[in-house]
Structure 1
């Protein structure tokens, strides 16, 4: 989770609508079914870790399976809001130049996204991926981009209690609203009167991480 000094930079425009939708969906009731980890999910994560990236369609299906409230969000939308890169990959062949590409996300960014969605109050579990990724990161001499955040997640969350995300400067007289989320989080939205420009989410007491 990030504090105000580490806000994720977000471009204005169509992203305003995505942030509005995320805030709205986080406040919707949870569906009764629980997400069950299957062997196929474990195999998907292991396979993706082996090559260093995951297909965007697989990541979107994984997120949607965890929390159906996220089913309408594309990875391209989430990539812009949470400031990570979605790349294009092609099947390599010597017969002809490939004409079709697929969206993909580096595993460090996939882990970062799961962490952020959980911190925002969605029913997303990042532990399977982050627990496998951190030992790999521990062997690296340098941490690149979001690798730093994923590796030091627990320490950072212990110091930075609230999740903070802004897409535009805060107006002089912002409209503030507070809502309790289904999983016990408290969300505060900051609006300029016509759109949400920022959200701050405090986790439930039971999910706070000890700094020891």
Structure 2
């Protein structure tokens, strides 16, 4: 078994419990929506895409791995560089997986599921579906990588002073940018450029640049991280 496969297997074992939690929640959600839709006329019931909900698993990938996987892999003999390259591989694999899953699921919704229930899909909400299959894939990949890199930065530095400062700034920025009108406009424009850009090249480029900056910050924290 090559090194990449070992890293994927080890990270999956770390995440398996959380994967089952998401799957269980989805089963309950889908079952509930199915029961409701059977008691209503077609089109009266609506829900968010099941694949979109499953994509929330990325929050566990981006938080659980840097929080607990680091110590485990270092204790097994990996260097910090090997750990970080390995976790980047895992992030890229999960981002690609969910990008493909959402593309396939959207087609299933359009041709089958929407005959029985109305669904909302982020590929259509953010306008990614206008870019075709390849465009939908790379735009999603970029967005998911930003999410993972942000969580990686936050959870890689929980035991470091700089990491705690980043947490404070991040938490404080949310109410500040949402309560002050000029800043709220800046936030809205920024999110639009990030998530709903009419230019595939620009939207993907912005996401990748931000992801690389966040991953660089995550590495700087990881390089100085202790096992305690």
The two structures have a TM-score, normalised by structure 1, of 0.27
Higher strand content, 1 or 2: 1
Structure of higher CA gyration radius: 2
The two structures have a TM-score, normalised by structure 2, of 0.25
Higher RCO structure (Cα 8 Å, ≥6 apart): 1
Higher helix content, 1 or 2: 2
